[in-house]
Amino acid sequence: MTNQELFEEAKKARLQAYTPYSHFQVGAALLTRSGKVYHGCNIENAAYTPTNCAERTAFFQAVYEGERAFEKIAIVGAKEGEEPTNVCAPCGVCRQVMREFCSPEDFCILLADGKGGIKEWKLRELLPCGFGPEDLGE
């Protein structure tokens, strides 16, 4: 699957966002090493803090189904009714969830570059010196 194709999957996922409070809709498409794509959207809550980001929705769905090996994730975000062409970087909590399952050197994060294209980041670039399972001897 090409970066462009995964990006399009993230745009489709964004249509499922539940965002009555921020009206900011995020979609994620997570590609496993076996070639399967898991989708996620952000799901907000009247109490605000229980909100789940699109990235974690995709990861948790995949992990629930037994997936443990991931190649890359595409993330798009924009206000309702707008095209998601601006950079929508994952929050710190989602970066940490990625770190649990993905190698910082190998796992790729695809984001809009704000100029109509896609920029590919390594997890290491977005979460330098992260804390991971190895730090607990796992």
Ligand X SMILES: O=c1ccn([C@H]2C[C@H](O)[C@@H](CO)O2)c(=O)[nH]1
Q: Collapse the DSSP code of 30 into the 3-class scheme (helix H, G, I; strand E, B; otherwise coil) and give the result.
A: strand
Tokens of 78: 């924009």
31 counts as binding ligand X under rule CB under 6 A: no
Kindly tell me which residue out of 42, 99, 109, 127 binds ligand X, with binding defined by CB under 6 A: 42
86 is in an annotated binding site: no
Per DSSP bridges, beta strands 24-32 and 118-122 are unpaired
Contact 57, 69 (CB under 8 A): no
Q: Which is nearer to ligand X, 37 or 55 (CB)?
A: 55
129 is in an annotated binding site: no
Catalytic residue list contains 100: no
Q: Collapse the DSSP code of 125 into the 3-class scheme (helix H, G, I; strand E, B; otherwise coil) and give the result.
A: helix
- Using the rule CB under 6 A, give the single segment among 22-30, 62-70, 102-110, 125-133 that binds ligand X: 22-30
Give the separation between CA 68 and CA 4, rounded to whole angstroms.
23
127 counts as binding ligand X under rule CB under 6 A: no
Annotated binding site: 42-48, 53, 91, 94
